[in-house]
Structure 1
C-alpha cells in the first residue's frame, strides 16, 4: 500500500468521471497519482543549497510518504489528491469543471511552496533530525568578510 491509492481518490473525483476520462486505460489514474506524489515530494525535499540551512524545516520525505491509512497527514493527503486529480483530468474535460480544478491545483501548489519555504507548517509531518556534529559555520546561509587579495601571477 502506498501513500495515495486509487481508492482514496473517491473524495476528489467521482468514479463515473474516472471511467469516462480513462476510457479503458487502467494506467491513467495510477500514473496521475504517481506524478502527484512525485510533485509533492519535490516541494518537501531539500536540496543542497546553503540558503536552505536558514531555519526552514527539513522534512523526512521518505517517512512521510511511507505512511498509509490513518497514519497519513490528512492535509498533505488532500493536497496530493488535488494534484493527482488535476494530472488525471488533463487527459480530458468530460463533465469536469476544468477552471475549478485549475484553481484548486494552483492553490495546492501555492500552499506547497509556502510549506517548502517554512512560511506555513503542518503539524505532525516528520522532520529530519539535525546533525549535532555540524558547527555553526556549516549551517549559516551566508558568510561575511573580504575576498582574498587578487594578484596578477
Structure 2
C-alpha cells in the first residue's frame, strides 16, 4: 500500500498538471513515489524507525514527511522533461526537502518520529560479542 494518498498532492500541485507529468500512467507516479521514499529512508534510517514511519496510515502519518515526500515525488516526476524545464518552485522545494533531511540525519533537527530501537544485548546487530580468554594446555617436550 502506498504511503501517499491522492489527496496529499492537492496542496502542492493541481490534478491536471499531475496528470500531464505522469503521462496519465499510474505506475509512473507510483515509481516516483517509491524513489522519493527510498531517498528519504536513506537519510532517516540511522536514527529513526523507517518501517514505522512509512507504514503509518491516514492521520497517523507525519505531516512534514508527507509534505517533503510530495515535494521529492513531484520533482522526480518533473525530471523526465529535462532539467532546464523543471519549474523553479519544484527545484526550490526539492532542495528544501533535502536540506531538511540532511539536518535531521545530522541531528540538528529532531522531528517527532518513532526512533529506532536499539537491539538488546545478545540480539543480532546489538554490537555485543562474547570473548573468551585463555590458552592451550601446556605440554613439556623434554625426555
User: Does the 8 Å CA contact 1:40/1:80 hold for their aligned counterparts?
Assistant: yes
Pair 1:30-2:19 in alignment: no
Residues 82-120 of structure 1, C-alpha deviations (whole Å, 9 max, x = no match):
101101111237xx8611110110011011011011110
Match of 1:108 in 2: 97
Quote the Cα distance in structure 2 between the aligned partners of 1:67 and 1:86.
Answer: 23
- Number of aligned residues: 122
Match of 2:77 among 81, 88, 111: 88
1:44 is displaced (CA, Å) by 0.7
Q: How does 1:33-112 map to 2 (within 5 A)?
A: 33-46=33-46, 58-92=47-81, 98-112=87-101
Quote the Cα distance in structure 2 between the aligned partners of 1:74 and 1:110.
Answer: 17
Quote the Cα distance in structure 2 between the aligned partners of 1:18 and 1:132.
Answer: 46
Match of 1:129 in 2: 117
User: Does the 8 Å CA contact 2:78/2:86 hold for their aligned counterparts?
Assistant: no
Quote the Cα distance in structure 1 between the aligned partners of 2:120 and 2:26.
Answer: 48
1:130 is displaced (CA, Å) by 2.8
Quote the Cα distance in structure 1 between the aligned partners of 2:50 and 2:74.
Answer: 21
Structure 2: segments with no counterpart, 5+ residues: 129-143
User: Does the 8 Å CA contact 1:2/1:68 hold for their aligned counterparts?
Assistant: no
User: Does the 8 Å CA contact 1:6/1:29 hold for their aligned counterparts?
Assistant: no
Quote the Cα distance in structure 1 between the aligned partners of 2:96 and 2:80.
Answer: 21
